């Protein structure tokens, strides 16, 4: 069974993942309106992934005989003055999430909760990828600057992103 402290921390993480989903949905809607369909698509896929992250935590809490408690989701920003600023916010936010995952892992170590340590390893790897992707896009956008053709090509590239079910949910669906 999960410790009370771990259950509370994981429920807070469920809320944080849904907040992330809401943030990226807001970005998706903003860039759709601005005419950047590819960037809107990228953030729409991100929206789905964050809901998956929340689901992985909820499934896990249930599997350990815990209680999932859904908390209110705070408001998110609704507009960004550039694509670069949206990705800078994405990176800042993902770094915060990485810190939260690390804090959960610390609790798992202190509780000698080996199952939670194992479960959290997927998220630790996922956060490395999340931060790297945001950093790569920031680098690209800084090079592009105000170049309209560059932004057009960037938008086209992001239109190709497709959603795939993350591994922890793919295995539980079998
Ligand atoms: Fe759920 Fe973007 O980390």
List of residues 6+ apart from 155 with CB closer than 8 A: 36, 37, 38, 39
Atom of ligand 1 nearest to the CA of 93: 2
List of residues 6+ apart from 168 with CB closer than 8 A: 56, 59, 119, 122
Question: Structural domain boundaries of the chain?
Answer: 4-173
Distance (angstroms) between ligand 1 centre and the Cα of 93 equals: 9
Q: Are 32 and 47 in contact (CB under 8 A)?
A: no
Protein residue with least CA distance to atom 1, ligand 1:
50
Pocket lining: 52 vs ligand 1, CB cutoff 6 Å:
no
Distance (angstroms) between ligand 1 centre and the Cα of 129 equals: 10
DSSP letter assigned to residue 160: T
- CATH topology (fold) of 4-173: Ferritin (1.20.1260)
Q: What are the pLDDT tens digits along the chain (174 aa)?
A: 899 999 999 999 999 999 999 999 999 999 999 999 999 999 999 999 999 999 999 999 999 999 999 999 999 999 999 999 999 999 999 999 999 999 999 999 999 999 999 999 999 999 999 999 999 999 999 999 999 999 999 999 999 999 999 999 996 554
- DSSP letters along 60-90, please? HHHHTT------PPPP-----S-HHHHHHHH
Pocket lining: 94 vs ligand 1, CB cutoff 6 Å:
yes
Pocket lining: 50 vs ligand 1, CB cutoff 6 Å:
yes
């Amino acid at each position: 069974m999960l410790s009370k402290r771990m259950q509370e921390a994981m429920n807070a993480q469920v809320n944080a993942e849904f907040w992330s989903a809401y943030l990226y949905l807001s970005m998706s809607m903003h860039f759709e309106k601005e005419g950047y369909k590819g960037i809107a698509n990228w953030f729409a896929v991100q929206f789905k992934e964050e809901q998956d992250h929340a689901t992985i935590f909820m499934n896990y809490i249930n599997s350990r005989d815990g209680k999932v408690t859904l908390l209110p989701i705070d408001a998110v920003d609704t507009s960004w003055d550039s694509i670069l600023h949206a990705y800078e916010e994405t990176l800042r936010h993902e770094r915060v999430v990485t810190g939260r995952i690390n804090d959960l892992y610390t609790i798992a170590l202190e509780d000698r909760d080996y199952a939670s340590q194992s479960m959290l390893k997927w998220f630790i790897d996922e956060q490395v990828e999340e931060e790297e992707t945001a950093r790569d896009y920031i680098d690209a956008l800084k090079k592009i600057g105000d170049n309209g053709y560059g932004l057009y090509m960037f938008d086209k590239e992001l239109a190709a992103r497709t959603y795939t079910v993350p591994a922890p949910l793919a295995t539980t669906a079998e």
